[in-house]
Structure 1
Amino acid sequence: MGISIPSVVGQMIVFLIFVLFTMKYVWPPIMKAMQEREAKIADGLAAADKAKAALADASSKSEEELKAARGQAQDIIANASRQAAQLLEKAKADAQAEQDRIVANGHAEVERQTAHARDALRQQVAALAVLGAQQILKREIDAKAHAEVLDGLASRV
Structure 2
Amino acid sequence: MDLITPEYGLFVWQVVVLIILIFILTKFAWKPVMKAVAAREDSINDALASAEKAKEEMANLKADNEKMLQQARAERDEMLKEAQQIKKNIIAEATDDANKKSEAILEKAKVTIESEKKQALAEIKSQVAEISVQIAETVVKKQLDNKDEQMKLVDKMLDDVKLN
Whether TM-score is above 0.5 comes out as yes
Find the partner of 1:41 among 44, 60, 63.
44
CA distance in 2, matches of 1:24, 1:2: 36
- Please say if 1:26 is aligned against 2:29: yes
Stretches of structure 1 lacking an aligned partner (at least 5 in a row):
140-157
**Which one scores higher on RCO, CA 8 angstroms, separation ≥ 6?**
1
For 1:10, the equivalent position in structure 2 comes to 13
Question: Which residue type is aligned with residue 50 of structure 1?
Answer: K
String of CA shifts for 1:97-124, please: whole Å, max 9, x gaps: 1111001000000011111111211221
Q: Shift of the alpha carbon at 1:86?
A: 1.1
For 1:126, the equivalent position in structure 2 comes to 129
Identity %: 27
Stretches of structure 2 lacking an aligned partner (at least 5 in a row):
143-164
For 2:105, the equivalent position in structure 1 comes to 102
CA distance in 1, matches of 2:110, 2:141: 45
Higher mean displacement: 17-26 or 41-50? 17-26
CA distance in 2, matches of 1:3, 1:43: 54
CA distance in 2, matches of 1:51, 1:15: 49
Q: Which runs of 4+ in 1 moved over 4 A?
A: none
Question: Which residue type is aligned with residue 14 of structure 2?
Answer: Q
Question: Which residue type is aligned with residue 16 of structure 1?
Answer: I
CA distance in 2, matches of 1:128, 1:49: 115
- Normalised to the residue count of structure 2, the TM-score between the two structures is 0.79
Give the alignment of 1:47-58 within 5 angstroms. Answer: 47-58=50-61
Q: Shift of the alpha carbon at 1:4?
A: 2.3
For 1:80, the equivalent position in structure 2 comes to 83
String of CA shifts for 1:48-77, please: whole Å, max 9, x gaps: 111111111111111111111111111111
For 1:63, the equivalent position in structure 2 comes to 66
RMSD: 1.6
Higher mean displacement: 21-30 or 44-53? 21-30
Aligned pairs, how many?
139
Q: Shift of the alpha carbon at 1:2?
A: 5.6
